[in-house]
Amino acid sequence: MEPLEPLDLRTALRTTGSVRAFTDEAVPLDVVARVLDTARFAPSGGNKQGWRVIVVQDPTVRAQIDALANLGWREYAHMTAAGQRPFAADDTGHWPGPSIDLEQARRTPAPWSFMDGLATVPVLMVVCVDLRVVAAVDVEADRIHIAGGGSIYPFVWNLLLSARAEGLGGVMTTFLVRQEAAAGDLLGLPPYVAIASLVAMGHPVHQPTKLSRKPVAEFATLDHYNGPAVFVTT
Ligand SMILES: Cc1cc2nc3c(=O)[nH]c(=O)nc-3n(C[C@H](O)[C@H](O)[C@H](O)COP(=O)(O)O)c2cc1C
């Protein structure tokens, strides 16, 4: 492997894109452990660190996880094809329900090289969270709940940044969440543990560094939601 160029923090934050294609080079478990060892410094509500990570190596379990995640991907793909933003809220903040027959979508393949090869990616990790320690402060909100995720997704993102520091790349996926009950049975998850993400990782075929993101003025305002935009001037 080539020696890694050190990346300054700002550059790393601005250039870490999703990697979904990996070389055949294996990633030893001690490297995975090192990635986890850096990722664990992520913040979480009340510093409760409710993450649990299952590194899936067994080929049989990998194949089952792959099949379950693909059911979620099929729902997502067919909803997208039908013109619906998958699992997003409507103008009231609620999910309006599917615009398609989800059962039929799950039965209908949606070819994609990444999802078709999921069982064979170098590193496959199921990132779970202990719901007994999340700070889900919006539990009573009459809209899609969001705050609890704040106690786990910074950790998932840290995993990907930490992977980059090891010359690895990866992507967080959430398709498996759609089959949480079956995946939970397979992995032995207790009822108070939720699946947050299935992370794929390995040596990138190509490390994307030119990311497409909205400028600050499109999402930051002063004093009010409809206040004047914040512009970057320096
Ligand atoms: C919460 C979350 C869920 C995501 N779920 C998936 C997923 O299920 N499958 C996938 O391929 N990518 C998933 N992604 C990756 C996004 O598609 C990616 O971050 C976004 O498109 C930006 O692309 P880029 O990183 O290549 O710039 C997810 C990202 C986040 C933050």
pLDDT of residue 234: 85
CB 119 within 8 A of CB 65: yes
Q: Strands 123-130, 193-202: parallel, antiparallel or unpaired by DSSP? A: antiparallel
Pairwise CA distance, residues 168 & 87, whole Å? 30
CB 44 within 8 A of CB 51: yes
Pairwise CA distance, residues 188 & 108, whole Å? 28
pLDDT of residue 118 exceeding 70, the answer is: yes
Q: Which domains does the chain have, with CATH numbers?
A: 9-218 (3.40.109.10)
Pairwise CA distance, residues 177 & 198, whole Å? 8
% of the chain beyond a pLDDT of 70: 99
Which residue type, as a one-letter code, is found at position 203? H
Instruction: Determine how many CB atoms are found less than 10 A away from the CB of residue 112.
Output: 14
Distance 17 CA to ligand 1 centre (A): 9
Average pLDDT of the residues of the chain = 97
pLDDT of residue 88: 97
pLDDT of residue 34 exceeding 90, the answer is: yes
Tell me, using a 6 A CB cutoff, whether residue 175 lines ligand 1.
yes
pLDDT of residue 2: 56
Q: Can you tell me which residue has the tokens 């890694």?
A: 4
Distance 192 CA to ligand 1 centre (A): 25
Pairwise CA distance, residues 21 & 176, whole Å? 19
Distance 174 CA to ligand 1 centre (A): 8
Tell me, using a 6 A CB cutoff, whether residue 171 lines ligand 1.
yes
pLDDT of residue 205 exceeding 90, the answer is: yes
Tell me, using a 6 A CB cutoff, whether residue 172 lines ligand 1.
yes
pLDDT band, residue 111 (cuts 50/70/90): very high
Which residue type, as a one-letter code, is found at position 198? L
Per-residue pLDDT reduced to its tens digit, 164-204: 999 999 999 999 999 999 999 999 999 999 999 999 999 99
145 half-sphere exposure, CB direction, 13 A CA radius? 11
pLDDT of residue 39 exceeding 90, the answer is: yes
pLDDT of residue 1 exceeding 80, the answer is: no
